[in-house]
Amino acid sequence: MKYNHLKHITSAFITLAIVLFAHSAWAKGKKIRVVTSTPDLAAITMAIGGEHVEVTSLARHTEDPHYVDPRPSHIVKLNKADLLVVNGLELEVGWLPGLVVQARNKNIQAGAQGYLDASSVVKLLQVPTQAIDRSQGDIHPGGNPHFTYDPRRALNIAAAVEKKLAALDPDHKKDYAKNNESFSSDLGTVIKTYEDKFAKLSSEQKQVVTYHASTIYISDWLGLKEVMQVEPKPGIAPNPKHIATVLTAMRKQNVHLIFQESFYPKKASQKLAQLAKGDLVVIPGGTNVSDGQTYIKRIKTMADAIYKAASK
Ligand SMILES: [Zn+2]
């Protein structure tokens, strides 16, 4: 009796295993577990994956994506991930590779099907023509990695995410295509709206100083002219000599706007804005996905804040 019972259970298990194995990797209701390095990438992936994905961003929107504190929970998330979406171009070089090693998940290694490097699908800016000497501290040695600030480049990323999700989960291919169509159409409207708005500003109004070179893709999109950065080089803290040079340039060229992300120190920028009789605008450094913010809302918030100060 006992034996038969056991046999029954065993055969049920075998049947179940066959059913699970024979069905696609994504059984009905099972979500694709996606981990992204930054919240912008998470928000874009959520827009495309919709109900079929469960997305976690390792970096918070309040954290500088160059320097994220590795946490044990990151390793757990990476260990269980079906897909890892990274920004690439060395943005995460200081913290992500070690986490991926510790996570021991072969599906999300570089080159595996569950791996997507966003920097491979966008047109990059500030790619050096000759090798940069790392000893100088420049943290953008291969080009500028902050391209998710530009919604036009987000369209490229969305297309790559759609392709990747469709490959991992062909049963929902149509849904991913539909989601991307609607995301791209909405984002396209936003892109055009702000381009038109900023085009009406004078060339003087469009001159800006920013803290970190993260802003170059915003400026590329909205036609802003970046006169200088408060940081002498990406990743190098401002010093009095450099601040004096920035102030001279701001006064000479009539620059009245400085903008920077919330996670960078504000003291030098505040001083410069005050001395140059301008404004310091703090923009979000990423989508606030933990509060349900969408990528589109994040872009609008950022562009509105810059426009408000620039159009004064
Ligand atoms: Zn940077």
- How far apart are the C-alpha atoms of 222 and 274, rounded to whole Å? 25
pLDDT at residue 133, as a whole number: 66
Q: 67: CA distance to ligand 1 center in Å?
A: 10
* Cα Rg, the chain, nearest whole Å: 23
Q: 138: CA distance to ligand 1 center in Å?
A: 9
Q: 173: CA distance to ligand 1 center in Å?
A: 34
Band (29; pLDDT cuts 50, 70, 90) = confident
pLDDT digits (tens, 9 = 90+) for 84-137: 999 999 999 999 999 999 999 999 999 999 999 999 999 999 998 877 666 667
β partners of residue 261:
283
CA 285 to chain centre: 9
Q: 107: CA distance to ligand 1 center in Å?
A: 28
Handedness of CA 181, 297, 41, 28 (dihedral sign): negative
Q: Is 3.40.50.2300 the CATH classification of the domain at 30-189?
A: no
Fold classification of 198-310 is Rossmann fold (3.40.50)
Are 213 and 126 within 8 A, CB to CB? Answer: yes
pLDDT at residue 82, as a whole number: 98
Closest CA to 161 of 73, 34, 303, 269: 34
Closest CA to 165 of 74, 55, 21: 55
User: 173-199 and 39-49 are packed helices; what angle lies between their axes, rounded to 10 degrees?
Assistant: 130
Burial 180-202 (b: 16+ CB within 10 A, else e): beebbeebeebbeebeeebeebe
pLDDT at residue 12 tops 90: no
- How far apart are the C-alpha atoms of 95 and 110, rounded to whole Å? 15
- Cβ-based neighbours of 297, under 8 Å, separated by 6 or more: 287
pLDDT at residue 18, as a whole number: 44
pLDDT at residue 71 tops 70: yes
Q: 168: CA distance to ligand 1 center in Å?
A: 31
pLDDT digits (tens, 9 = 90+) for 250-279: 999 999 999 999 999 999 999 999 999 999
Handedness of CA 25, 92, 282, 201 (dihedral sign): negative
- How far apart are the C-alpha atoms of 164 and 173, rounded to whole Å? 10
- How far apart are the C-alpha atoms of 74 and 85, rounded to whole Å? 14
CA 93 to chain centre: 14
Are 180 and 162 within 8 A, CB to CB? Answer: yes
